Amino acid sequence: MSWYLVPQLLVAGVTNGSIYALIALGYCLIQNATGLVNFAQGDFVMLGAMLMLSLVHAAHLPMPLAFVISVALVACIGMALERGPIRHSRNRDVLTLVMITIGASISFRGASMLIWGKSSHIFPGLGGENPIIFLKAAILPQSLWILFFSIVTLGFLYFFFHRTLLGKAVRAAADNPHGAVLIGISVRRLVALAFAMSGALGAMAGILITPITSMSYDTGLMLGLKGFAGAILGGYGSTAGAVAGGLLLGVLESFGAGLISSAYKDALAFLILLVILFVRPAGLFGSTRVKRL
């Protein structure tokens, strides 16, 4: 084993794992609010990056402003998805609603291909391109920004759900929607809020990872699947499990690619997921009844 590679592989794993964790949190929000799997989550990742690209290169906006606008726009797209086809679907069967999210995903990718083309795109990272050497590992400034934004986002979500009335209302509606309606909570508005927050998390993940890996109209599909895998790995529906599962998946994927073969990078991630779920179907940090939010 090439031990000198361990620090570098760990840095790469934590970087990718933080992105998977943000995407997994988006899945978790929708699951807890509606019981659905939103297969358009990966496309929120792609849309955030592509909108950021247009605002920076075409509109020539400063990156901080473009970041905020891109996240807000994708949050609006997420809310529109819920308030449009999902809310007005005549058939409220879960499978039908999931198929709506799959159709939305295909539509988002098709529209993105027409607008931004099939080429991969990239924009400058935050903090420059000169790596920081620590324990023989080269750490890009963008990796530190990814970790910073991930920690801040997790702190914000914890504060929101546990220290604000609106966040507690979301938790109440997720746990018992009928009871929440009886005490005057508008469950529909909170579901729309969950979709908006899910879109914002996806957009943030896409914007943060693009300076490192680049983005195309179909890249969000694989990122969405890995975020979904991270959510399942940790225990689907658990926010803590989503974070832990995303980070663990990123680290395992990085070590598998570095020590075995990068050609099997994606396959190794899903193989590990299948093995763990075979041993523990509820996920590593889940239980028979997953604790919500």
Any domain includes 46? yes
**Domain limits at 170?**
3-279
Q: What b/e string do you get for 247-265 counting C-beta neighbours within 10 Å, with b at 16 or more?
A: bbbbbbbbbbbbeeeeeee
Rounded mean pLDDT of 168-195? 85
* Cβ atoms of 15 and 144 closer than 8 Å: no
Flag the least confident range among 32-41, 42-51, 77-86, 190-199.
Answer: 32-41
Among residues 96, 107, 111, 49, which one has the least CA distance to residue 74? 49
For the stretch 278-291, pLDDT in tens is: 887 777 776 655 44
pLDDT score, position 17: 93
**Domain for residue 106, yes or no?**
yes
Three-class SS state of 137: strand
- Whether residue 114 lies inside any domain: the answer is yes
CA distance 134 to 127: 17
User: What would the two tokens of residue 217 be?
Assistant: 């109209």
Whose CA is closest to 203, among 186, 183, 220, 184? 220
Q: What is the CATH number of the domain that holds 168?
A: 1.10.3470
In a domain, 289, yes or no: no
Hunting for tokens 């990085």 — which residue is that? 254
- What is the pLDDT of the chain when averaged over all its residues? 87
- Residue 291 domain flag: no
Residue 215 corresponds to which tokens in the numbers above?
Answer: 């983005």
The string of pLDDT tens digits covering residues 191-226 is 899 999 999 999 999 999 999 888 999 999 999 989
Is residue 290 situated within a structural domain?
Answer: no
Side-chain half-sphere of 140: how many Cα atoms within 13 Å? 17
pLDDT value of residue 290: 47
Q: Which residues pair with 132 in a beta bridge?
A: 139
- The answer to whether residue 287 is domain-embedded is no
How many domains would you assign to the chain? 1
The two tokens of residue 110 are 């098709």
Structure tokens at 128: 């420059």
Q: Please name the residues in contact with 230: beta carbons below 8 A apart, sequence gap of 6 or more.
A: 17, 20, 21, 23, 24, 242, 245, 246, 247, 248, 249, 250
What number is the average pLDDT over the span 112-119?
Answer: 93
Work out the burial of residue 13: count CB atoms within 10 Å of its CB; fewer than 13 is exposed, 13-18 middle, 19 or more buried. buried
Q: State residue 291's pLDDT score.
A: 47
Query: Exposed, middle or buried: residue 244 (CB in 10 Å: 0-12, 13-18, 19+)?
Result: buried
Q: How far apart are the first and last CA of the chain?
A: 40
What local confidence, expressed as pLDDT, does residue 75 receive? 96
The conformation of residue 121, written as its DSSP 8-state character, comes to B
Query: What's this model's pTM, rounded to 2 decimal places?
Result: 0.91
Cα distance between residue 171 and residue 199, in whole Å = 18
Is residue 31 a part of any domain in this protein? yes
